[in-house]
Structure 1
Amino acid sequence: MKKLKKVLIVLTGLLFIICIGSIIFFNSLKPDYEGKKMLPKLESEVNVFYDTYGVPHIYAQNKSDAFRALGYIHAQDRLWQMELLRRVATGRLSEVFGKDLLETDKFFLSLGIDDYTSKTISELNMDSEMVKLSNAYLDGINEFIEKGPTPIEFYLTGLKKEPFSLKDSYNAIGYMAFSFAMAHKTDPLLTNIKNQLGEEYVREFPIHSDTSTVWIKNYKNVEADSIGTDITASVTKALDKLPVPQFEGSNSWVIAPEKTKSGKVILANDPHIGFAQPSVWYEAHISTPNYEKYGYHFAGVPFPVLAHDRNLAYGLTMFENDDIDFYLEETNPADSTKYATEHGFEDYVYVNKEIKVKDAEAVSFTYKKTRHGPVLNNIAKQITTKEPIAMSWVYTKPKNEVMDALYGISQAKNLRQFEHALPKIHAPGLNVMYGDAAGNVAWWAAAKLYQMPDSISTKFVLNGKTGREEPLRYLDFSENPSAINPPWNYVYSANNQPDSISGMLYPGYYLPENRARRIVGLLDAKNDWDRESVSEMILDATSSINPVLITELIRLLDVSQLSEEQLIQIDALKNWDGNYTLDNVSPTLYHRCEYFVLKNTFEDELGKEQFNQFMGTHLLKRHIAWGAKMNVGKWWDNILTKDKIETRNEIVLKSFADAWNSLVSDFGKNPSEWTWEKVHTLEHGHPIGQVEMLRKFFNVGPYPVPGSREVINNMAFPYDSTGLYKVNSGPSTRRIIDFSDVENSISILPTGQSGNPFSKHYEDQAELFVNGKFRKMMMNKEEIMENSESLLIFKAHD
């Protein structure tokens, strides 16, 4: 017995020591928000005041010192995020997550982002201030890598920390550029549909511009000169496995002084990006004697993508222009190393790559390139077609000056300086939104746009052999859509179709008019906007389109076949104002019906795999309202019922019955239990949180959330057979800059500033976000010092 007691005492002691050791170890992994640190190469001391939510306010005597400190503090909160983002373009995700990411790595390596980056850096002026500030930022990151604690994710994955270089920053921008694109999800799919089913089916899609919807209006004071398969499946699978968020859409509007209560400009912006943990943006306020900016930073990129100061503010939405084209190539039947062009046969370029794979041997693979770009057929095993299809992407074509553009807009002091930097954005296509203290409001579509020959549709795979389906020229930036101080006294973007300029409508993958119509309706109706009313508008969860669509479909129902309970819910749908509140049943019934209408319309022709691909496109979103109004059409018939031709009425009736039965199965017979909060939820997923036992520690949520697809509070979700609408993208921040009181402008992040799960700022904004709350973006130094929670001081030496 005494021996047993001794053993128990020893074991208890060991357990206690292990617990204490674990606590000490995990505490050592927390970011340091206070104290003093050495930061080599500083010219003078830098003070970093952290506010209540972990936003750093950096005070330095010069910009280089400020950006060096920014790099350090950005890394201590987001190094894991930086690590993943730099690995995407270089095909190094399999090294972290194993063979499941091989297809993703192959795909991104074949895009040529990394090779394009190498070329870009070789041509940089290393003495430019842009490069010097970028390197100062990278110095700060690397100092943290060398001296700071290692984030827990590196221990869990067995990764070693590696220094960052300018190449990593450019590769992060390259990933951002591709994640905006939609052509890879749409063009091959449309081509497959046309080849499999015929052009009559394709003509029933809203592929081209719809003149009946709300467009973004141009306003120019000077008239411009007039100018005349399988791949989808593989790309979708590759992108679905990405452990980092993809860019989706966005809202922004800037209200001119004539429409505000104060007579000053107000800017609102909420870029829509895939939800993840950590969230995309890192906020930082920098102040030096000759530079100040409150900015939102992308991991590994030194200059803010969204920002404001006391003089001007800017935000972004996705332009959704078409900047990717696919070309069907023809291999020489006598020599498989050559392909056909209008000038004869040219050599394929063969590119060899090697991918390191966790817990496995490295994988070598080879792909070939044509003059258009990489041939995708050898990128993933799902592609079995013999005909080579190459992808042409604008991002890797012209000179890359995107970093110069970000630097330029962040340094601009007025509208003209700001506009001067925008032509350097060639891809991704961005709607750049601007407002300033002088009363100017502006919108520019910034991208390298190109003109195709007449009658050529870039929404289908093009002929790569003839030379007759090639771009004719790049447009000058002055020809891009834009509006500066228009007479209607506001500018806006909701990723919808821009009006024509230079005599043509630019092709793209624009989103439907739903959000645009609501934004325009609200802005037109009011001339006394202030910060409070704009903050209500950015949270608006009312659809102005869905109730109209419901009215169209309800009249097709045979009420004599409906039960009393069904009639009650149909009546509620008739009277629904389109508002997506958590306690409402109508949104749940509407979306369940909509899903089954789509399923019963398209799945018979497309099959399950292509139907799921179609459901992930912007084309599908545009088709919902468009297609519901079509009395007759090829898609309505179920081709699986050989002895019958279905009509729209029959599809709607069947879909209502399917929806009702599925809701009864999921939630019971009482419709009052079918509330929106039961099905519409948001969970911010961390890559490590995919392991179930670690989910609660790394993931944030889930929370029931108001809003829906294509309302201003755009809490988007994919449709699938589960009937559960798990939000996967939405506002990556909500910001409102009011130039009547710029120091009281407001913002919110979806989770928190830090990506370190041991930080108190890992998720301290999550509940504020889902409840529609905001916090102040402080810029006044006295207020910052008075309200700061901690002070971190950087010194060059003791």
Structure 2
Amino acid sequence: MTLLIQWLLRIASALVILSVCAVIFIYYLASRSLPDYDKILQTSAVSASVDIVRDNANVPHIFGETDQDVFFALGYAHAQDRLWQMIMLRRTVQGRLSEALGTQTLETDTLMRRLDLAGHARASVSAQDAGTLVALKAYANGVNTRIDEINLNALGRGAPELFMFPQSIAPWVPADSIGIQKLMALQMTGHLENEVLRARVSLALSDQKRLDDILPLAPGTGVAALPEYAALMPDMPRYAASDTAPLSPLSPFPRYGMAGASNAWAAATSRSASGGTLLASDPHLGLSAPAIWYLARMELQTGGVIGGTIPGIPAIITGRSDALGWGLTAAHADDQDLFIEELNPDNSQEYRTPNGFAPFKTRKSIISIKDAAPVTVTLSWTENGPVLPGSLYNIAAVTPPGHVAALGWTALSDKDTSLSAIMGLMRARTIGAAVASTESHIAPVLNLTLADKENIALKVIGKLPRRDAKHQSKGRLPSLGWRTENRWQGTFPYPTNPGFVSPLGGIVGNTNNKVVDRPFPLHMSYVWGDSQRVERWRRLMQAREVHTRDSFVEAQLDTVSYTARALLPLVGADLWFTSEAAPDGTRERQRQRALTLLSEWNGEMNEHLPEPLLFAAWMRALQDRLIRDQIGPLADSFTHVDPVFIERVFRDIDGASAWCDVRQSAPRETCADMARRALDDALISIEERYGSQIEALRWGDAHQAVHNHQVLGNVPILRFFVNIRQSTSGGDNTLQRGLTRGTGPRPFENVHAAGYRGVYDFADPDSSVFIISTGQSGHFLSRFYDDLAQLWRRGEYIPMSLDIDLARAAAVGVTRILPPDR
């Protein structure tokens, strides 16, 4: 027995030693890819000495004698810190995720092959202006120099993730950068899903008058009534539509309500306490670890520029120079249409056009799959665009038998000069020059907020499709692709895009709200991204005669919900203090306690308060009760509360209170009944997850910011090292926007927010500040992986200076890149 115990101890000790050695070995391999920021690099790709000075937040400040060398260094810096992220973005564009990740991403790859963003990007390279071509090639050389350095010096393959996915790294080319820009455009537009959802709801509703309740127009001047979808598609039967299948892993197609958002505003000198113009910008995208944003400064021949870049793209997307600041918000312009194409009943390889049946343009594409046989897919295009599968957003549910659906989208261009427009914006010194340089921008359609030293402006940039005045659905529903009146007639000229220069009020801005209300077909959109934040923004801007950098920061971080202040008095009108006393522990008593808290609440979505959780859960349960009886499982597609819908119902606008009556029950329910029952539903769901002590609830426990690693975030053990979690304030409709997940067991997690914040004061530009949501490095062993995350959570910023001496002071390293003869 003693001998057995001794051998068991020896075996256990050996296993422990082997495990420790394995961990040390894995750490050694992973740490090899940590970049050295303090070194000298020689390469023939630069013409003179270039310095990459890393400040104490690891922001690279790049100084070179030519712009070409500076863009080379930016590519090198991006590849040092975010190589894995860049590779994954490129694989997504190319539809090549399955080569590394297996069958789980096959559907995503198939969709991306059908869009052929990579092909359009390759074709668009030659359309760029000369300066942009030089920058793209130099940037690609910088990335490739880092890849070569990794291979030559065995630097851990450049990122720990690449040990798990050992495919070779292809050289970076200019088309890769254009492709990533197109990928961003895909993530920022949601009109495709909106058209499909509107059609599905139209088919499911027995009363078409209710369609504009559940999918309401943004507040403002109304438009002509649209036909119901069944009238456009007489072969489509009415039915209780099933729910939409979830998007496949790593899909860049946005879920409903998750398309691009953002805030940006500016103040003229007349509204600035410092006497200089002010600008604030915080673009909103899905949260991830690392963040999509990467801070950088480049010293170009036209002057220094600093701000937020996206790894893979050689440009400051949002930021400032010493003379100009710019911020971008999603314009939500209707730049997508879904066309229903009729197949030739005698030949399924043809579809109907205005001139008879014509063959599809087709091409076969082979998708390689890790640990599985390759799959060959046939890609098809009509004159209107690529043919999409019926599984995407459940397009099949609105496609009659014998038909397919094709996508029209402005980004599907072989002459996409959007990147040239952004490059020109970086070099602009005035608002006039900035507006002129962005005429070549195509997609996505954006609101460009500008401030130079004298003036402020907002200009819509990007191509707006020109539709016929007789268009059957006005672009709001899938339309018949062979009807001439439904087809696009080119795009509107750039000067017709809305613009506001030097407004009399001295303030300009956008929160994804309606910018202009022009009649169809001159309209921009029927679907906008915000009807709530803008109300709070307007109040904050008008509350002060003059603003400062700090007041703009306060507005960016404001967590007061206009929605809560507007809806609670309406929804709870018949419930406040009207019930009889109830004993402790009963459902009635819980409801009274919740109503008492909410009646005294000022609408601040503070992470430490219980009221935001009570409000969010109540409104979520209320909307579900109102709509599920009418549209069944399709209610699952409405993942976020629409405040305009709730208001229409409780104000009984155009008979919208009909949603309160449960059709399948004999009694006639009132809206007060639904509000009371929904509150009970909310309290039960809260108790099941967070406990019954209402006063002890914390919004931040439910509203955690979720920065997940896209691939390793679900791997056991590893996820604790690569994912970042933070308790956060704000909500769906606050200026400090933290859009909730809306689905699953944790519907209130913060998954879509301002990954970048910047505030610029042109009276003292070096007092400007910015921040990103994680850290500069994509390497989870780096101290710069999450060092900015807590600052971001607390609403703090770091300096945004173009002063060379400040950049060099306390630098964490200087990489000097020299030609071979130096």
TM-score (norm 2): 0.89
Aligned to 1:560: 579
**Aligned CA distance change for structure 1 residues 240 and 47 (closer, same or farther; 3 Å):** closer
Task: Report which stretch shifted further, 191-200 or 5-14.
Answer: 5-14
Instruction: Find the counterpart in structure 2 of residue 674 from structure 1.
Output: 697
Alignment of 1:623 onto 2:645: yes
- Which structure 2 residues correspond to residues 112-131 of structure 1 after superposition, within 5 A? 112-123=116-127, 128-131=130-133
What is the rounded CA distance, in whole Å, between the counterparts of 2:253 and 2:467 in structure 1?
36
Q: Match for 1:43 among 47, 62, 71?
A: 47
Distance change in 2, residues 1:502/1:590 (3 Å): closer
Q: Is 1:421 equivalent to 2:430 in the alignment?
A: no
Amino acid at match of 1:485: S
2:627 pairs with 589, 602, 611, which one?
A: 602
Matched, 1:135 2:137: yes
Residues 1:636 and 2:651 aligned together: no
Moved more, 15-24 or 529-538: 15-24
Map of 1:722 onto structure 2: 745
1:335 counterpart = 2:340: no
- 1:698 aligns with 722
Using the alignment, how far apart are the partners of 2:490 and 2:20 within structure 1? Answer: 72
CA distance in 2, matches of 1:108, 1:234: 19
Higher mean alpha-carbon deviation, 238-247 vs 103-112, is at: 238-247
* Counterpart position of 2:233: none
1:367–1:379 contact (8 Å) kept in structure 2: no
Q: Distance in 2 between matches of 1:79 and 1:653?
A: 53
Contact 2:48 2:818 in 1 (8 A): yes
Q: Alpha-carbon deviation of 1:640?
A: 4.0
- The alpha carbon displacement at 1:12 in A equals 9.0
SS in 2 for 1:773: coil
Partner of 1:80: 84
Gaps of 5+ in 1: 214-228
Contact 1:247 1:272 in 2 (8 A): no
Tell me, yes or no, if the aligned pair for 2:51 and 2:816 is still in contact at 8 Å: yes
Q: Cα gap change, 1:624/1:238 in structure 2, threshold over 3 Å: closer, same or farther? A: farther
Q: 1:639 to 1:537 in 2, by over 3 A?
A: same
1:709 corresponds to which of 732, 739, 745 = 732
Paired residue secondary structure (1:759): coil
Which AA in structure 1 matches 2:102?
G
Q: Which residue of 2 is the match for residue 107 of structure 1?
A: 111
The equivalent residue for 1:273 is 285
Q: What is the CA distance between 1:170 and its match in structure 2?
A: 1.2
Matching of residue 733 in structure 1 with residue 756 in structure 2: yes
User: What SS does the aligned partner of 1:709 have?
Assistant: coil
Q: 1:652 to 1:781 in 2, by over 3 A?
A: same
Is the 8 Å Cα contact of residues 96 and 367 (structure 2) preserved in structure 1?
yes
Question: What amino acid does structure 2 have at the position aligned with 1:690?
Answer: N
The AA in structure 2 aligned to 1:121 is V
Q: Does 1:654 align with 2:677?
A: yes
Query: Residues 658 and 17 of structure 1: is their aligned pair in 2 closer, same or farther, counting only changes over 3 Å?
Result: closer
Q: What does residue 427 of structure 2 align with?
A: 411
Kindly report which structure 2 residues correspond to 1:245-324, keeping only aligned pairs within 5 A, or say none: 248-288=260-300, 290-324=302-336
- In the TM superposition, residue 397 of structure 1 has moved relative to its aligned partner by 4.2
**1:65 aligned to which of 61, 69, 73:** 69
Residues 195-234 of structure 1 correspond to what in structure 2 (within 5 A)?
195-198=203-206, 199-211=208-220
Q: How far is the alpha carbon of 1:343 from its aligned partner?
A: 1.8
Task: Tell me whether 1:179 sits opposite 2:201 in the alignment.
Answer: no
- The answer for the alignment partner of 1:218 in structure 2 is none
> How far is the alpha carbon of 1:625 from its aligned partner?
3.7
User: How far, CA to CA, are the matches of 2:242 and 2:369 in structure 1?
Assistant: 25
State yes or no: 1:434 paired with 2:441. no
| CA–CA distance in structure 1, aligned partners of residues 310 and 241 of structure 2 | 30
Partner of 1:466: 483
| SS of aligned partner of 2:436 | helix
Closer, same or farther: CA 44–553 of 1 in aligned 2, 3 Å: same
The alpha carbon displacement at 1:350 in A equals 2.1
Q: CA deviation at 1:238?
A: 3.7
Question: CA 1:235–1:350 in structure 2 vs 1: closer, same or farther (change >3 Å)?
Answer: farther
Cα distance, 1:732 vs. partner?
A: 1.1
- The 1:625/1:238 distance shift into structure 2, 3 A limit, reads farther
Q: Could you tell me which residue of structure 2 aligns to residue 396 of structure 1?
A: 412
| Worse-matched range after superposition: 450-459 or 385-394 | 450-459
Q: Is the 1:332–1:338 contact (alpha carbons within 8 Å) kept by the matching residues of 2?
A: yes
Cross-structure match for 1:533: 551
Q: 1:7 to 1:507 in 2, by over 3 A?
A: closer
Q: Percent identity?
A: 24
Q: Distance in 1 between matches of 2:171 and 2:186?
A: 25
Equivalents in 2 of 1:110, 1:706: separation in Å? 40
Amino acid aligned to 2:44: P
Correspondence 1:759 to 2:782: yes
Deviation (angstroms), 1:15? 7.3
Q: Is the 8 A contact 2:290 2:774 kept in 1?
A: yes
Deviations 1:50-93 (A, max 9, x none): 11110011111111111111111111100111011111121111
Which residue of structure 2 lines up, in the alignment, with residue 226 of structure 1? none
- The Cα RMSD (Å) is 2.8
Larger mean CA deviation between 156-165 and 488-497 belongs to 156-165
CA distance in 2, matches of 1:492, 1:365: 45
Is the contact between residue 46 and residue 60 of structure 1 (CA under 8 Å) also seen in structure 2?
yes
**CA contact 2:105–2:249 (8 Å) conserved in 1:** no
CA distance in 1, matches of 2:243, 2:251: 13
Q: Which amino acid aligns with 2:601?
A: W
Change (3 A) 1:146 1:640: farther
1:443 aligned to 458, 480, 484, which one? 458
Specify the SS of the correspondent of 2:51: strand
Q: CA deviation at 1:231?
A: 12
Q: Deviations over 1:681-711 (max 9, x none)?
A: 11210021211221111111x2111111110
- SS of equivalent residue, structure 2 residue 298: strand
Deviates more, 1:583-592 or 1:661-670: 661-670
3-state DSSP of counterpart to 1:496: coil
| Alignment partner, residue 613 of structure 1 | 637
SS in 1 for 2:266: strand
Q: 1:795 to 1:628 in 2, by over 3 A?
A: farther
- Deviations along 1:233-263, whole A, 9 cap, x unmatched? 7785147645999752000101111111111
The aligned residue for residue 585 of structure 2 is none
Cα distance change on mapping 1:739 and 1:275 into 2, 3 Å: same
Mapped to 2, the partners of 1:36 and 1:231 lie a distance apart of 63
CA distance in 2 between counterparts of 1:6 and 1:656 reads 61
Q: Which AA in structure 2 matches 1:40?
A: S
Change (3 A) 1:77 1:628: farther
Any conservation in 2 of the 1:433–1:442 contact (CA below 8 Å)?
yes
Find the aligned partners of 2:803 and 2:488 in 1 and give their Cα distance: 50
Displacement of 1:405 after TM fit?
0.5
Unpaired runs of at least 5, structure 2: 223-238, 583-587
In the aligned structure 1, how far is the partner of 2:169 from the partner of 2:122?
22
Q: TM-score, normalised by structure 1?
A: 0.91
- Please name the residue that 2:200 is paired with: 192
Q: Distance in 2 between matches of 1:349 and 1:408?
A: 36
Work out the CA distance in 2 between the residues paired with 1:45 and 1:777.
24
CA contact (8 A) 1:318 1:495 kept: yes
- 2:204–2:240 Cα contact (<8 Å) kept: no
1:712/1:15 CA distance change after superposition, 3 Å = closer
C-alpha deviation, 1:644, in angstroms: 4.2
How far apart, CA to CA, are the structure 2 residues paired with 1:361 and 1:740?
62
